[in-house]
Amino acid sequence: MKLFKSISKIAIGLTLLIGSLVHAEVAVIVSASNANAALDQDTISRVFLGKTSNFPDGSQAIPVDQTEGSASREAFNDKVLGKSSSQLKAYWSRLIFTGKGTPPKESGSDAEVKDLVAKNPNLIGYVDASVVDGSVKVVFKF
Amino acid sequence: MVLRKSGLAAAVLLACSPAAFSDDLNINGFVSVGASVLSNTDVHIGNYDDNASFSNDTIVGLQISKQVNDTTSATAQLVSRGTEDYNTEAAWAYITYAATEDLDVRFGRLRTPFFYYSDFLEVGYAYNWIRPSGEVYRLDTFSSINGVDFTQRFSTGSVDGSVQFYYGRFSDDFTPVDETYNIELRNFTGVVLNLTQGDFGARLSYHQADMYMPELGTKTGALDGLITAATGAGVGDKFVPDGETTSFYEAAVTYDNGDMFFIAEWTALNHETAIFNDDTGYMVSAAKRFDDTTIHLTYSNQSDDLESGTVGQIQKNLEGKESSITLGARFDYDTSTAFKVEAQYQDEDTYLGAPGESGMLYSVAVDLVF
């Protein structure tokens, strides 16, 4: 009986692990104290591409990226921005070398981005949905 | 093992973020290394010839910028070009003052915003070609000016845009055909409108300046010959540009959905003086991306517009008319490095008033940014 219990625990654990690998959901988050409710993909994309620096309610929006190569970043670039990492690099090099913009700051992994965003109502980031807690608010999910 | 891994991670962090320790000092750079060969020297494309050349498309740039306080930053971009014996020059050196959240004022040495690609003309990584089409991108001498510009950004609905206004002065050596003259452009001014909506973009610009070339007529070049001929024909004063206005018009539309890219750009140069010919240059280019490979095809065309009568007859001596077709590929083999190959068919209808020839230019290049 005990053996059976632990085997089923392992099985459930494995299922959850595989499930989370396959269905890893990424959430775009702002601080719980940010006044904006849901944001649409176009707004998020304009903030992350430096085309606008404001949330819809007019407050300042500062995007934070994850470190290059993270799974959440790849998914975000692909699904929300619709660009490959080299296209994004080319996009930013057009702005960097003309003094017209700088890319979002690279601010670590899921957990680190969540902690940063929680503390500052002007920040917007994206994290794996599994690390979301009450300190942040999900404004978009994919 | 764990120790070694974290040691490596720390080393990678150090290597990747040179600016990480001086909070807001940013250092960025770009490098392009290229090699090209022309099929025959009966056609004229830049300094290319029928021996492999390694310096025409080779450029190194380093940009340092520092946020001085909340509203002010300083930027310098030093560029060293193979076409100029790798002499280092400041392409940009300016102070930006953010007057409001959406209005920037820049003072200093700025890139003249003639074209869609002007701002990042030398950052090969930022576009698909090895170099933008020479029929359109033809005002190289005047690519940087000293002055001031104002850029106002705005958003209305789903449209984002900016209006840029600049005013400045340019003075340097200029080699229009064979001889070098000092040229001064005063009241050098222009306005640029940029709009983007989703995958679509548009750019419209107008530029003008008053031209002074006091050494014209004192040397033995083709232009001095033109003045002698014009004086003999009684129209000499039409060929002296001192203080006459030159205008430049530009319009571009772009489409980019990530996999397909399209740009059409049209330009026209209009001189009050007859010493230089008015001309029109345009290009149409399409690109398709397949994963890390982008294939692109471009047609471009440039032709001089001569005045009528005796003046036009004299201008005919330096008339030019040409077109080109460029087929190329870009391979993004890393997020900051691109390898490019290109074949360009150049058809010179008329070169310096005489019937021209045609030829091929083959080029390869590696572009990277850091």
Q: What is the DSSP string of B29-59?
A: EEEEEEEEEES-TTS--TT--SS-BSSTT-E
Three-state DSSP class for A5? Answer: helix
Distance, in Å, from the CA atom of A103 to the CA atom of A17, rounded to the nearest integer, reads: 33
Three-state DSSP class for B5? Answer: helix
What domains appear along chain A, each with residue ranges and CATH number? 25-141 (3.40.190.10)
Of B92, B125, B258, the CB nearest to A93: B125
What domains appear along chain B, each with residue ranges and CATH number? 98-369 (2.40.160.10)
**pLDDT digit of tens for each residue in chain A (142 aa)?**
555 556 656 655 555 555 445 557 999 999 999 998 899 998 999 899 988 888 988 898 999 999 988 999 999 999 999 888 888 988 998 888 887 788 999 999 999 999 999 999 999 999 999 999 999 999 999 9
B286 interface with A at CB cutoff 8 Å: no
Tens of pLDDT, residues B25-62: 889 999 999 999 999 888 888 888 888 888 888 999 99
B158 interface with A at CB cutoff 8 Å: yes
Band the pLDDT of B335: cuts 50, 70, 90.
confident
Distance set, CA A123 to CA A77, A89, A91, A126, A136 (Å): 18, 22, 22, 10, 11
Closest alpha carbon within chain B to A103: B26
Structure tokens at B69: 């306080």
> What are the chain A neighbours of B196 within 8 Å (beta carbons)?
51
**ipTM for the whole complex:** 0.77
Of A46, A60, A97, the CB nearest to B28: A97
> Is A89 close to B75, i.e. CB distance below 8 A?
no
> What are the chain B neighbours of A83 within 8 Å (beta carbons)?
258
Determine the distance from the C-alpha atom of residue B345 to the mean position of all C-alpha atoms in its chain, rounded to a whole number.
Answer: 21
Tens of pLDDT, residues B216-255: 989 999 999 999 999 999 999 999 998 999 999 999 999 9
Query: Nearest CA to CA, how far is A141 from chain B (Å)?
Result: 21
Residues 6+ apart with CB under 8 A from B336: A86, A89, B125, B368, B369, B370
Residues 6+ apart with CB under 8 A from B118: B111, B112, B143
Residue type, B155: S
> What are the chain A neighbours of B334 within 8 Å (beta carbons)?
86
> What are the chain A neighbours of B30 within 8 Å (beta carbons)?
93, 97
> What are the chain B neighbours of A39 within 8 Å (beta carbons)?
none
Query: Nearest CA to CA, how far is B65 from chain A (Å)?
Result: 8
Q: Which of B52, B99, B94, B29 is nearest to B71 (CA)?
A: B99
> What are the chain B neighbours of A44 within 8 Å (beta carbons)?
none
pLDDT for the residue numbered A7 = 60
B130 interface with A at CB cutoff 8 Å: no
Which pTM value belongs to this model? 0.85
Query: Nearest CA to CA, how far is B325 from chain A (Å)?
Result: 24
> Is A99 close to B65, i.e. CB distance below 8 A?
yes
Three-state DSSP class for A94? Answer: helix
Query: Nearest CA to CA, how far is A94 from chain B (Å)?
Result: 6
Tell me the count of A-B CB pairs closer than 8 A: 70
Tens of pLDDT, residues B157-212: 889 899 999 999 999 999 998 899 999 999 999 999 999 998 899 999 999 999 99
